[in-house]
Amino acid sequence: MKWLYEVTISGRTAKVEVVPGEEGRFTFLLDGRGFPVQATDLGPATLALLHSDRSAEVSWRAGPEGFDLVLRGVAYRAVAVDERRRRLGGLAGGRGAAGPTTVRSAMPGKVVAVLVTQGQAVAAGQGLVVIEAMKMENELKAPVAGRVARIAVVPGGTVDGGQVLVELAPPEEAAG
């Protein structure tokens, strides 16, 4: 059995084929290029991934327009359409690559620092908020370049898993 998807992350779309193996092993084919991965379940919506002696933790939360992913401290918005659904017309509606990007907390925690101000231009990968969860500090970074449209947290405050931290508007939207 294999699963076929069309996945869009940060405006880039790729064909993804997932071929499950034994004991948590998978092969991901991204646009035909293979990546063998060992996956270990760390709890609800969190996996530890191992590929070529490199490890990463990924967590996700399903939303109305796709998934909010956090990989190595960077938040991403992903839309995955399975092959059958793509043939039937994909997703109806949605904001697409030009809409706002919402950065959410992957788990409950405490806001240690807010690294940006409202209206500030940010680059993809730039730190936005530092959250302390499970005695570890995690800097959440901008998945795309944009302008800070809204900051929904304050230092010292607590957050729930999935709570909105920062909303980024595309640079052209924020300029007007």
CA dist., res. 30 & res. 27, Å (int): 10
- Whether 7 and 48 map to the same domain: the answer is yes
Question: What integer pLDDT is reported at residue 176 of this predicted model?
Answer: 46
- Whether 118 and 74 map to the same domain: the answer is no
Residues 97-149 have pLDDT tens digits of 456 788 888 778 899 999 999 999 998 888 999 988 777 888 888 877 889 99
Helix (H) or strand (E) segment spanning residue 174 = helix 171-174
Q: What is the mean pLDDT of residues 143-164?
A: 89
Res. 94 pLDDT band, cuts 50 70 90: very low
Helix (H) or strand (E) segment spanning residue 46 = strand 46-51
The mean of the pLDDT values for the chain is: 79
- Whether 107 and 53 map to the same domain: the answer is no
Question: What integer pLDDT is reported at residue 174 of this predicted model?
Answer: 45
pLDDT at 88 over 80: no
pLDDT at 42 over 50: yes
Range of the domain at 32: 3-87
Q: What is the mean pLDDT of residues 59-82?
A: 76
Q: Is residue 94 part of a domain?
A: no
Q: Is residue 95 part of a domain?
A: no
CA dist., res. 123 & res. 141, Å (int): 9
- Whether 138 and 112 map to the same domain: the answer is yes
pLDDT at 93 over 60: no
- Whether 79 and 11 map to the same domain: the answer is yes
Predicted TM-score (pTM) of this structure = 0.51
Q: Is residue 109 part of a domain?
A: yes
- Whether 29 and 67 map to the same domain: the answer is yes
Split into its structural domains, the chain has a count of 2
- Whether 16 and 82 map to the same domain: the answer is yes
What CATH number did the domain enclosing 63 receive? 3.30.700.30
CA dist., res. 154 & res. 165, Å (int): 9
CA dist., res. 24 & res. 11, Å (int): 29
Torsion sign across C-alpha atoms 130, 116, 77, 54: negative
Closest CA to 18 of 35, 10, 8: 35
Q: Is residue 159 part of a domain?
A: yes
